[in-house]
Chains A and B, each alone.
Chain A
């Protein structure tokens, strides 16, 4: 193998690790450096808002690989290394402190960071949930502060609200959407989730935003809402999305927009590839540029970037995927294949919202764009093919109904499909 003789991967989470492993598995035997900003070896983030916060797992269980598996990769693994700049002319990554790491090929996997509420950086008791330290701080904060306000009704907010209730905290969830997670899942599923959270004792304030965090002597005491009301709380969790870590690439010539703007093969210019939360690429199926912050996408893109890097421009393949994400809330397992945002059609395929056990299809522009399941894991997998094929909506409904009929003799809780608008 003549090129590259050295690869540097910036970002030591799921995408960066997958890229490093993919390179070795494809036979790359040159120098491989994995730079991570955090002081940890690669660990997993989805359990932070689930098993770690609830206390069912210790932090050690989050390790993505055993020490033996990591050492088997023959990596120059450098935790605690923050990339400050990229010099694409000399092909060097500049680290905090000024040292430089030379590369022939580079994989950018610097991910995203949690968005914060402006002016709350130094207020004790205001949390985000992105890193292990964030999760441990929130856990400790909840033990001291029996009332939590969650700002944001997305995945992080809804999961943390559920766990905090399980820990015995009073929880108020504030979202500017009409229902929790309704921007992702639509109003019908959102209403069901609202009901579930309410039954578990979460107070939910919808269609209202948090104007500011109230504090006394540097410690959070609650939040002020946009309608003039206040909610008092000793802990505030801000779950209002994330932003890509691209500032270090400013001026490098790597194309930046909403993330690192790659081509369809995840290449972002001469010798540079990107993967995971930070990568924005034109989806070859839809032609639109997307960036996905899902755990599965990070692993898939890390592997794809490694393959394409070694294959070279002539043999690199466009990256295409059916995005997958899941959420655990109380005893609900919510799974999503595809992209639900912007859906204009929604239909239940199996089960019912009342039973909190169902599969559903989401459509956009006359085609299936996503399949969602709650506590129906295997049946949902069959619908994934319709998402992958972007099946025409009417054909998909017919196919789903037929599959449903063929299994309904064994299913007593089948429900005729009901069709409606997604929101």
Chain B
């Protein structure tokens, strides 16, 4: 799995962090998403797909 982030689309909602806290975090100053693990282990795949699906800014792209 490869995860790509479009930082300038991110609206800082933090929904991805709620769904997949091992993979995503937010910057302190502006809340923009931080990718903790660009190549996460398989057990995280479900959470990452869900995070991409619920991102309100469509800022997370997942390639498998």
Contacts and interface: CB of A to CB of B under 8 A. Distances in A.
Contacts of B35: none
Contact of B31 (A65, A299, A324, A377): A377
B18 A296 contact: no
A299 B12 contact: no
A64 B55 CA distance: 11
A22 B26 contact: no
B54 A326 contact: no
A21 B55 CA distance: 14
Contacts of B17: 381
A44 B13 CA distance: 15
A319 B53 CA distance: 16
Contacts of B53: 18, 21-22, 25, 299, 303
Interface of A: 18, 21-22, 25, 44, 46, 61, 64-65, 295-296, 299-300, 303, 324, 326, 328, 333, 335, 377-378, 380-381, 384
Contact of B15 (A22, A324, A333, A380): A324
Most central of A22, A299, A377, A381 by chain B CB within 10 Å: A377
Contacts of A299: 53-56
Contacts of B26: 377-378, 381
Most central of A18, A326, A328, A384 by chain B CB within 10 Å: A326
A296 B31 contact: no
B3 interface: no
B58 A381 contact: no
B11 interface: yes
A335 B12 contact: yes
A-B pairs, 8 with minimum CB distance: A377-B31, A295-B56, A296-B56, A299-B54, A377-B12, A381-B14, A64-B58, A378-B26
A303 B14 contact: no
Given A377-B26, A378-B28, A46 B56 contact: yes
Contacts of B50: 303
Interface in B3-25: 9, 11-15, 17-18
A57 to B, nearest CB: 9
B41 to A, nearest CB: 19
Nearest to A65: B58
A296 B49 contact: no
A384 B53 CA distance: 20
10 contacts: A44-B57, A61-B9, A295-B56, A299-B53, A326-B13, A333-B30, A377-B14, A377-B26, A381-B14, A381-B18
B54 A300 contact: yes
A384 B18 contact: yes
B14 A296 contact: no
